[in-house]
Structure 1
Amino acid sequence: MPNFAGFITIDPKRSIDTIVAHVTLEEVGTDELQITEHPVELGANITDHAFKKPADLVIRCGWSNASLAGVLNGVQGLISALSGGDAFGSDYVSSVYNQLLALQESRIPFDVSTGKRLYSNMLMRSLGVTTDEKSEYTLMVTAVFKQILIVQTQATTLPPRDDQAQPEATAETADTGTKQVVVGVPAPGGWQPPNG
């Protein structure tokens, strides 16, 4: 069993969608501003030359079969295995791991709550798990999340061409049909300038 000395919290308000970790060891959030490297004209609006990138979040957290939920789930798994069910993945940490994998596979944005902030519209970019002889009955994961920027678009209808001052510049594009390329044939005697 891993040494949990110095862990951050066992606070239930921290969650990955609806999955609550028993222990959170580390939360690393990154908010980044993309700033132009090109020269900016003096007096220009700087906000036109920088934009906020989606948030990144890394969480190291864990679960244990020794918890109350783990013990209850272990009893259910044992009963299932004795009655002919599959023993693989029947313990508590395996079921949590399968929930995390299913959440990642769903590719549906969800919320992640940390001790400092609620991150909305997140996807799990990677899920790392390490198991050794000391952690066989625990699940320690490193989950990497990326925020998805979701926008809402709107369609509008422009006023009729006749009501516009410069319809060639502001009117909707019109389908004028298929254009054919015509090979030019010189006039008899060759080309003559328009002035004769």
Structure 2
Amino acid sequence: MNPILDLTAKPISSLVYLKTNIGGWFFDAFLRSTHTSRLNITQHPVQTGAALTDHAFLQPKELSMEIGMSDAATSLVPGQFTGGWSRSVQAFKVLTELQALRVPLQVHSRLGLYQNMLIEEISAPDDYTTLYGLRCTVMLREIMVAQVRTVKVSAKPAVTDQANRGKQEPQSVNVSNLEQIRRKMSGG
């Protein structure tokens, strides 16, 4: 089963912008989410009147989600988390496969839509309380994407070694001017 889902396919398309999900995967419970947006501000003095936007920039968004899965429940989307030993184990497997693929994901939560997110860390304690379920924390970080555009200004190169310098002829130098220059250079 491919962990990268088509978010336009039915029934995912009707839910993807309404319910909290990670890349179109709808887990049983999102127990807690921590949304982090950080501005990096210069430590150096800024001249009065300078544009402050030149001295601060946004860091990639970070999102931490605590997820719960139960082996007793059924999936919101038919067919999700099937084919494994249990739904909880399959859910953990899906998360680790998404992380290994390193493909940017769309994540929707109650507080917003995040584009270009990668799973940075998955932490899943496993003990007697999670024997028939999964409780894990997924840390996601945004990949900053920039669009680069090349603009052609001129068809001619800006610098050339074959510039037309015109006709060059030797000039005669006045001997008296040369004598004045020699005296100034010798200090006399």
Q: Using structure 2 for the length normalisation, give the TM-score.
A: 0.69
Q: Could you say which residue in structure 2 is the equivalent of 1:31? A: 37
* 1:174–1:28 CA distance, 2 compared to 1 (3 A): farther
Percent of matched pairs sharing the same residue: 30
Shift of 1:92: 1.3
Residue of structure 2 in register with 1:91 after alignment: 86
Displacement of 1:47: 0.6
Structure 1 position 175, deviation (Å)? 9.7
Q: 2:19 aligns with which of 10, 13, 17?
A: 13
Task: Give structure 2 stretches of 5+ with no counterpart.
Answer: 1-17, 163-180
Q: Does 1:60 align with 2:66?
A: yes
Cα distance change of structure 1 residues 13 and 174 upon mapping to structure 2, 3 Å threshold: farther
User: Secondary structure, in 3 states, of the residue corresponding to 2:118?
Assistant: strand
Q: Which residue, out of 117, 121, 144, partners 1:122?
A: 117
Equivalent AA in structure 2 for residue 43 of structure 1: G
For 1:175 and 1:132, how far apart are their aligned partners in 2? Answer: 74
Cα distance in 2 between the residues matched to 1:144 and 1:134 = 22
Alpha-carbon distance between aligned partners in 1 of 2:85 and 2:161, rounded to the nearest angstrom: 62
Give the aligned residue type for 2:145.
Answer: I
Judged with a 3 Å threshold, the aligned counterparts in structure 2 of structure 1 residues 68 and 37 are, in CA distance, closer, same or farther, namely same
CA positional deviation for 1:156: 2.4
Residues 114-133 of structure 1 show CA distances to partners (whole Å, capped at 9, x for unaligned) of 11111111000000101111
Give 1:135 deviation, angstroms.
1.1
Letter aligned with residue 107 of structure 1: R
> SS of the counterpart of 1:68?
coil
Which of 96, 100, 104 in structure 1 is aligned with 2:99?
104
Deviations 1:163-184 (A, max 9, x none): xxxxxxxx2x6799xxxxxxxx
Question: How far apart in 1 are the matches of 2:50 and 2:150?
Answer: 30
Task: Report the counterpart of residue 14 of structure 2 in structure 1.
Answer: none
**Residues 92/160 of structure 1: CA separation in 2 closer, same or farther (3 Å cut):** closer
Query: TM-score if structure 1 supplies the norm length?
Result: 0.66
In 2: Cα distance, 1:160 partner to 1:108 partner: 39
- List per-residue Cα deviations over 1:86-108 (Å, max 9, x = no partner): xxx52111111111111111111
Structure 1 residues not aligned, in runs of 5+: 1-11, 78-88, 163-170, 177-193
Distance in 1 between residues matched to 2:149 and 2:43, nearest whole Å: 32
Describe the superposition over 1:109-166 as per-residue Cα deviations: whole angstroms up to 9, x where unpaired: 011111111111100000010111121110111000000111111122231558xxxx
Q: How many residues align?
A: 145
* RMSD of aligned alpha carbons: 2.8
- Aligned pair in 2 of structure 1 residues 68, 33: CA closer, same or farther (>3 Å)? same
Partner of residue 51 from structure 2, selected from 37, 45, 49:
45
Deviating 4+ runs (over 6 angstroms) = 173-176
What one-letter code is carried by the residue in structure 2 that aligns with 1:52?
L
**Greater Rg over alpha carbons, structure:** 2
